[in-house]
Amino acid sequence: MALEYLTQQGLTLVQQNYLTKVGEIDLIMLDVQTQVLVFVEVRYRRNAHFGSAVESVDRAKQLKIIRTAQHYLQQQHEFDEYICRFDVIGLESDLKYPTINWIKDAFEG
């Protein structure tokens, strides 16, 4: 659902579910217009009793994503000159009709 949404917004999929010993990145997308490589964390919450989906990406999770992105960039030299950004997609409530909350540049690496 998040991939479809981001594609509709003009981003192109580079890789999905990039997994290493360090961690995982849900989506790696390219914003072709701005030539920005976007690392996307996708979170889903049925309800907000324990905080929103976006709020669940705490500093520890951010650091894990940053380290995983660094690992990715060390392996993929075609993106050496690209600016990178970390986004979070929060999917809230019913999966059939969720609210999508896209936070661009949600944290810094």
The 8-class DSSP code of residue 97 comes to S
Helices (H), the chain: 2-8, 59-75
Tokens standing for 100? 């999508």
Residue ranges per structural domain of the chain: 2-107
Predicted confidence (pLDDT) per residue in 14-68, tens digit: 999 999 999 999 999 999 888 999 999 998 756 544 555 556 678 888 999 999 9
Predicted confidence (pLDDT) per residue in 91-107, tens digit: 877 556 778 889 999 98
Q: What is the mean pLDDT of residues 70-98?
A: 87
Per CATH, is 2-107 categorized as 3.40.1350.10? yes
Quote the pLDDT of residue 47.
53
- Global pTM reads 0.87
Long-range CB pairs of 8-11 (<8 Å, 24+ gap) are 9/102, 11/38
**Residue among 46, 45, 13, 48 nearest 31 (CA):** 13
